[in-house]
Chains A and B, each alone.
Chain A
């Protein structure tokens, strides 16, 4: 009975938790509610994932209303794995949040914070799970609005500006997506993704489809922060409470990337997107410029959060470049990097969160000899940083190896070479921070610098869970590559 309703529970659990958080008011109680809901969501996501692997695609009619009338949830291996990823990251960061929120978020507003988080999670999961194009937009708005709120919880007044900028950019993106979906509806008369995929080939020549395609491209590029439409990301990541950044870095852009995959591969189909529409002519230069320039920009950042934010834009560039290859190998590389990067970046932001929690700022130049006072946090930062560079035995290596392999298979040697060049930039921006943390002696021997000053265990444990998972998948990379390969096949094969 319950097993049949898994897709619905996936959304209902976090959605119900949101008002519950408001009702309980108390900070700790709200956290407990959110945590329990999160764990249930994770459990549900795992069950769904297992079910998909065993039985294949699930098509679930919400409320019993069949597809053309009602909303259909369409779950295959591609979105089941993204759902699992999002719930996992959210749960881990939620554990981490307990102390961090107490210190950084205005007292008395905690219940609102957790409530917004739950809504955001609902939105993100909904975007992934739904098989209805308009429903994507609805969930997108849920997640976006709650994200604006979460960002505005930042300590600084600048958080409001950051949130507002994101609101403007995000709304433009969402409107573009809405317009795109509207045109698709006009051209095909359906909002169901499976039907859309069937009808678009007949309507391909219509100008409405062309317009829809263009609007969707721009809208999704904004939402997933593809260079040069990434402007909102750096400020948002820097000013938001660190927990929010850690949560968003591993989930929000990844979900948008998934939507991009779903639209361009499943709905429009790779032949139309990349063959007729020449999407790679638009996306590939943006992706390559993104990972090269943004890695360079990251080198010059003095704020650790900003540095990691620009690095995120660069990593999104890798993922987009992998999508542009539009082959089985390329898509696999892109999807596997969605997972891997989510793990690495959340871990990195969490370790920055620990540092900010204890030191109070994120100016990377003044972390003299931080290793001696926060050895565990700094070790986690270094390990994840190595992952970002793509050192063997980390997840980053698995991604880069498959990405370069895929681009060589396609004959795009130059792309492979540029990926390597930008990895070298990553060595520089990670290396210079690590060097200060490890080797530079403090100029002043403050009483702070002696003895241990580690973050609380409840922050370190989730951090190390992510680090351990990323090492695990770095060593047995074939596990994630298999899943990503199946997802790529599902996306390339279109709807059955």
Chain B
């Protein structure tokens, strides 16, 4: 099926959102969920097409002389598309409880920008060439900017400024030159199995610099020192943090890096020229440093934000290791981390709505009042850490295996060390909630609104389901053409 169709539901729903507005909130949110389900069905259709060997692409729109906007279907993109559309539905369900429970203002603008961002994510997922991906990447930045500054107060405007500045500076200042360089060296920007740069006659140094431009320029992947926007953007409403800053936005970043490494550089070229030699240590540093910083944060969302930074660098590292196994692991980690982290964010939001607590030190004994939320938090946490029975284990295992495959055990060490740190900063939270006596009177607190709770339970269940049934994703990723 033509992947262009996936842009239709999120865009078509925007007029309805505006039309229904604040006056008919139920209709407004029902229309979003309907659009989400249609989108999910479309993506599912594309998924089954790909599994049965059909590959479709859209027509092309000529933008510049040799470059055009075009969408086409490719295994990694299908995975990302299905993931984002599924989580859009779940997040919308969650938002209904959260936004109403929190009495947020400007909900119509919120849902509009949200839908727009999802449309852009679809364009990114199915991009046929680097230019299309870049366009979608920029569009995501711009359409999510109003979401970050949603509250409109000084804090959120400052965060919005940082968000826009870091992401745009990175993409225009580093990523765009890399694209122009690639296009002048290879003459094409189309994603091609095996990459387009292998015959371009780039020197080893040039390839290394290109990798640097890529990894640092794609600021959404939040590799240090381009990570500052991510914790700052946590001022956004929790559903935004959940879907956009744990899934759509940041995953677009790492997805971009994986796509470029596999289909522009080609994994053979990256490993044979050792082009990642400068960036691999940087990702390792990011993994460890942000885990340590997460450790020091008492604000729950801030801790999760730093945890996200560290997990994103796993995926970037997996890409840079450039073996088929590690890249598969990295791509799979996009999924497993998405479900784990969205569960954690949902829980953080639920705690904020129901108990009005933001700091970890205030959570003592909360497990008795909010057992479902805190159990889900526990599942999400073990998913992030990578313990069975949660799916995070498989992806971490694959990345580690890929690293050994490439003959470098050092990075396995980094992964394991970071796992220990994960345990240290994530597990105390549910343990505190369940086993510590409540510090103050919290008996009036009860669970979050029902829609939010359903969403939490659903994502937590998927974390576990993917542990037992990882095949649908892995089979899909098995279709990637490496050469």
Contacts and interface: CB of A to CB of B under 8 A. Distances in A.
Interface in A417-444: 417, 420-421, 423-424, 427-428, 431, 435, 438-441
A318 B52 CA distance: 51
Interface stretch (B158-166, B401-409, B445-453, B467-475): B158-166
Nearest to B172: A423
B176 interface: yes
A386 interface: yes
A427 B168 contact: yes
A253 B343 CA distance: 57
Nearest to B158: A435
User: How many residues of B sit at the interface, in one of the four size bands?
Assistant: 20 to 34
A405 B66 CA distance: 12
Given A405-B180, A405-B184, A476-B61, A424 B169 contact: yes
B410 interface: no
B183 A405 contact: yes
A393 B123 CA distance: 14
Given A475-B63, A476-B63, A420 B177 contact: yes
A5 interface: no
A423 B55 CA distance: 38
A298 B253 CA distance: 31
B209 to A, nearest CB: 11
Interface string B108-151: 00000000000000000000000100110011001000100100
A405 B139 CA distance: 22
A392 interface: yes
User: Is chain B's interface secondary structure helix, strand, loop, or mixed overall?
Assistant: helix
A477 B161 contact: no
B413 interface: no
B23 interface: no
Interface string A461-492: 00000000000000111100100000000000
A476 B67 CA distance: 11
Interface residues of A, number: 32
Nearest to B168: A427
Contact of A391 (B142, B146, B181, B184): B142
Contact of A393 (B135, B152, B172, B184): B135
Nearest to B184: A408
Contacts of B63: 393, 398, 475-478
Contacts of B134: 392
Contacts of B168: 389, 424, 427
Contact of A428 (B62, B131, B165): B165
Most chain B Cβ neighbours within 10 Å, of A392, A408, A435, A438: A392
A401 B172 CA distance: 11
Contacts of B181: 408
Interface in A379-394: 386, 389-393
B64 A439 contact: no
Nearest to B164: A431
Interface in A348-397: 386, 389-393
Contacts of A424: 168-169, 172-173
Contact of A404 (B65, B131, B156, B180): B180
A231 interface: no
Given A438-B146, A475-B63, A478-B65, A431 B161 contact: yes
B160 to A, nearest CB: 7
A19 interface: no
A427 B64 contact: no
Contacts of A478: 62-65
7 contacts: A389-B172, A392-B139, A404-B177, A405-B180, A420-B177, A427-B165, A438-B146
Going nearest first, the 3 A-B pairs with the smallest beta carbon separation are A392-B135, A439-B152, A439-B149
Interface of B: 61-65, 131, 134-135, 138-139, 142, 146, 149, 152, 156-157, 160-161, 164-165, 168-169, 172-173, 176-177, 180-181, 183-184
Given A389-B172, A420-B173, A438-B149, 12 more contacts: A390-B172, A392-B138, A404-B176, A420-B172, A420-B177, A421-B173, A423-B172, A427-B172, A439-B156, A439-B157, A475-B61, A478-B63
